[in-house]
Amino acid sequence: MLNTGKLAGRTLFITGASRGIGKAIALRAAQDGAKVVIAAKTAEPHPKLPGTVYTAAKEIEAAGGQCLPCIVDIREDSQLENAVDQAVSKFGGIDILVNNASAIHITGTTATPMKRYDLMMDINTRGTFLASKLCIPHLRKSSNPHILNISPPLNLKPTWFANHCAYTMAKYGMSLCVLGMAEELKEVGIAVNALWPRTSIATAAIEMLGGEGAVRMSRKPDIMADAAYLIFTQNSRKYTGKFLIDDDVLKQNGITDLDQYANVPGEKLLPDYFLDEAENFQAEWLQEGQEQDQPPPSDSPQGVFSRVERLLSPEIVKQVGATYFFIVGGAHPGNWLLDLKNGSGSVSTTESEIEANVTMKMDSDNLVAMFKGKLSPTTAFMTGKLKISGNLAKAMALEKLMGQMKSKL
């Protein structure tokens, strides 16, 4: 997509822009010659996450923009206030606010530590509200002011609350800000919209949640950046109160070649959370797999676990170091313990529940499909087909192992 130059000289204030979607939006605006304020807390390199506010600032300047990197923990009022003051002092005002900073912890109610609950609420909902509150007086002075929250449409189906109620509440808090502030600010001409990706986006967060498989089935952050750019160039008095999906925005502006955004061209795309199509994704994927490869009768949990056991080794045990208890229902019910913590690893059945690092509950057909690589564990979990309790990091380690094993199962 070609730049129009419409953001030249405009000032964007973006929270959480040291990496991922926030940085992509910043780089897109910088190509127009925009001024960008990065408000993020990563000052030093993280061992697992790429980028700092300073490395992002260099990239923004290299792309043609000006940049003010600000070290900000969005939970601290004084730090955010100081960053807004610095932005106005250096660039003369603020034209666009992007509420991108977000925290995620995908667990059920009893498995969610209150520390994590508070973190998500403080960053997602409170941080968005505070950044908006502080920037609104300056946005009022802009000729085309926009607030854009990276948050989902308000889909109230129970599916999106059942497995991660706290995260959904925190994320929907950002969307409720759009609903309320768009109406509140329309008379002064400040647009307030939400933007959400139709598919998962290849970011560090997605890699941590879904592993390499989820990254392969994602689009690049560029699609969100291009959609955001098109939103910012709309008339703020007419284009407000919308819950937008990235590829819809592109199509409405004549951009129909979406293959350019695929992280791995030709790979099936993983729908993002909170969208209706994600609920149908698992069933469609399973049906495709059955049409292409009719499984033999031996494709049951017993058959799968038997083959898994033959692949176990001391090296795998060392790599994973956890136990997994599967409560399987459906056509082939039973309880299975996968021990990847002791000796060379083992698989066993049991009549009663056993304490393990991770407990997973799902239908037998879905379990077989998951181990054979026809069903993404992330998708199964998102859509409520897989229930997980226990150590989420160890659950991710098993997903990575399944990706390595699937060709042999």
Q: Which residues are catalytic?
A: 167
With a CB cutoff of 8 Å and minimum separation 6, the contacts of 334 are: 301, 302, 328, 349, 364
* Cα–Cα distances in angstroms (integers) from residue 375 to residues 282, 288, 326, in the given order: 7, 11, 16
CA atoms within 13 A on the CB side of 354: 18
Residue 242 burial (C-beta neighbours within 10 Å; 0-12, 13-18, 19+): middle
Cα–Cα distance measured from residue 103 to residue 167, given in angstroms and rounded to the nearest whole number: 8
With b meaning 16 or more CB within 10 Å and e meaning fewer, what string describes 202-236? bbebbbebbbebbbbbbbbbbbbbbbbbbbbbbeb
Q: How many C-beta atoms lie closer than 10 Å to residue 281's C-beta?
A: 20
Chain centre to alpha carbon of residue 307:
33
| Encoded tokens for 240 | 């407000």
CA atoms within 13 A on the CB side of 170: 24
Radius of gyration over every alpha carbon of the chain, rounded to an integer in angstroms: 23
Q: How many C-beta atoms lie closer than 10 Å to residue 8's C-beta?
A: 15
Residue tagged 């992330």 (tokens): 378
Chain centre to alpha carbon of residue 355:
30
Of 183, 204, 408, 214, residue with least CA distance to 316: 408
Beta bridge partners of 146: 96, 191
Q: What is the torsional sign of CA 377, 381, 383, 387?
A: positive
What letter would DSSP give residue 296? P
